[in-house]
Amino acid sequence: MAAARVRLKNLWQEQQLFERRALVAGAIIGLLTLALIARLVVLQVLRYDYYTELSQGNRVRTEPLPASRGVILDRHGEILAENRPAYQLELVREEVPDLDATLRGLAALGLLPADELDDTRRLVRSRRVFDSVPIRLRLTEEEVARFAVHRFEFPGVDIRTRLARSYPHGELGVHALGYVSAISEHDLERIDRGAYAGTTLIGKLGVESAYERELHGTNGFREILVNAQGRSVERLGALVPELETRDPVAGDDLVLALDLGVQRTAEDALGANRGAIVAIDPRNGDVLALVSRPGFDPNGFGRGLTRLEYQALEENIDRPLFNRALRGVYPPGSTIKPVMALAGLTYGVIAPTDSRFCRGFFTLPGSSHRFRDWKRGGHGQVDMIRAIAQSCDVYFYGLASLLGAERMATFLGHFGLGAPTGIDIGGEKTGLLPSPEWKKRTFKRPAEQVWFPGETVIFGIGQGYLLVTPLQLAHMAAIIAARGRSYQPRLVTGIRDPQTRRTRELAPKLLEEIQVGAPADWDTIIRGMVAVTQGGTASASARGAPYTIAGKTGTAQVFSIAQNEKYDESKIDERLRDHAWFIAFAPAEAPRIAVAVLIENGRSGSGAAAPVARKVLDAWLLK
């Protein structure tokens, strides 16, 4: 019988296998332990503040209390912008199960414009998940009732009562006041989000934007106890925490230099014309009226314009959103002639009694080109007073040739042309004050960099490259009225504490005191401007005034015509006709108001702009 085979265990090999498996298992356990420790470090150390805030948010929620925006008043205390209660639809993203479905559902109810869902979605996602984001402003009572019926379908969406901006006079003074609108993604990039938590609106233009910090105020907050579903409760079990509340501080009220009556008169006088009016007190720079027509109703922005409504404003050929008073640039035409005459006196190139014969055109030595006068037959013999009164182009062609472009540019610069006036709202254009040096810097081709004598000649009557804003011309008129004292134009004259009702007056800012050849030179120029309204080009508009008006008409060409071509208005498109200007101040002996009126394509300064200015002067001086 054969012996049975016996298989002996290899104990050493089994031990080696066990040790290898134990080592692998230990390594895995060690790695998992390290991962656990690392995660605990992240949760407990690195992100401690974040998760502490989240955990607190599970039981205590901080709800912002927006501050009431400051009120804007005119110089007599009339309310120009105020706050009124309004219902608005707000959404908290972290409480909304499906943002896209929620927005589509609200659009289906007619509570959101269907074509603006993408914009609304981006706005919501740009805010913090726990922020209450306004997605529709100023709901009507019918819309509030409609949402109330379907409220259970939209968790995270609710109606809140907020203070909404209201402009009781509609579009009156809109380009001075500006407007407020919903905080946009662009706004969020430049503001302190914490300071604007719970705030719906922010200033966009005009005073509302320039004085946003003063008007906004300081938001408060209150802590509320919530359960796991985020609902407000009085207590959680035995927990009754001490909840903190901080009341908001209302924004400051602003007192403007604007006179509501003068502003209304100016806008009514301008009517349906496109144009601008600026009235300034030459004694301190107070802007009494600032008009740009056509305008728009700022209340629409406060409630939230639809895309179609905003597009209609943007694409309107008359550009109602464009502030012509500050941003419109135009040739000033003959309105600068009094300053040109003053430059001639200051530099000593002419005397008040020096006369020139006007035969209807001017030629430079050695040239046959005729620079025509507005009066084809000419004005005959004219001295400085008569040249200003009758707006004789030939006289000022010759004066410009004597002065030269550099001296004209330097002198006009002292009167605020070619630079911002410094008014206390944004968006002001500088205009253009040309000079030979400017031309060299601006043009690239050498042939275009040459300043020609003919350019100096037309510079002298406010044509060519020279461009100004209506605000700049009003500022210039105010400087003449103040005999060289130049004050920075301003809209805001005081800041009022909403609690104490005490107003802190803001001091006017004197920019410069312009030096001329002799004090009598101011008398000469002002006599010439008075002669404009007493026998000169604006006599009809000043007739019957119980005060003395110093003024100057101006007509600015929109396009040039050939040397021998006759200007035929009937063959020219309405928007290519000349612009009408008139500047004035009164009473001439002790001026209290200076005004500039521009009517786009108004054809004649004397016929279109001067009558408008007369109504503005009457509104301030005869009220």
Q: Which of 546, 601, 608 is nearest to 579 (CA)?
A: 601
SS3 state at 312: helix
Q: Which of 536, 256, 513 is nearest to 392 (CA)?
A: 536
Which residues fall within 8 angstroms of residue 483, CB to CB, at 6 or more apart?
A: 519, 522
Q: Quick check: is 334 catalytic?
A: yes
Decide if 446 contacts 512 (C-beta within 8 A). no
Give the CA count within 13 Å in the CB-facing half-sphere of 165.
32
The token pair that represents 320 in the structure block: 């109602």
**Burial environment of residue 432 by CB neighbours within 10 A (0 to 12, 13 to 18, 19 or more):** middle
DSSP 535-580: TSTTHHHHTT-SS--EEEEEEE-SS---TT----GGGS-GGGSPEE
Main-chain phi, psi angles of 83, to 5 degrees? -125, 135
Place of tokens 């003024």: 551
Burial 306-345 (b: 16+ CB within 10 A, else e): eeeeeeeeeeeeebbebbbbbbbbbbbbbbbbbbbbbbbb
Decide if 354 contacts 545 (C-beta within 8 A). no
Which residues fall within 8 angstroms of residue 116, CB to CB, at 6 or more apart?
A: 306, 307
Decide if 266 contacts 292 (C-beta within 8 A). no
Strands 253-256 and 72-73, by their bridges, are parallel
Decide if 333 contacts 463 (C-beta within 8 A). yes
Residue type, 264: R
Q: What angle do CA 491, 281, 459 make, to 5 degrees?
A: 95
Residue 66's region, left for phi above 0, alpha for psi from -120 to 50, else beta, is: beta
Distance CA 623, CA 612 (A): 16
Of residues 132, 292, 334, 486, which has the active-site annotation? 334
Distance CA 596, CA 276 (A): 8
Cα torsion angle, 355, 359, 362, 368, sign: negative
Main-chain phi, psi angles of 440, to 5 degrees? -65, -40
Please report which helix (H) or strand (E) contains residue 36, including its range: helix 11-41
Which residues fall within 8 angstroms of residue 217, CB to CB, at 6 or more apart?
A: 67, 68, 69, 70, 248, 249, 250, 251, 252
Give the CA count within 13 Å in the CB-facing half-sphere of 84.
12
Distance CA 166, CA 180 (A): 9
Catalytic residues: 334
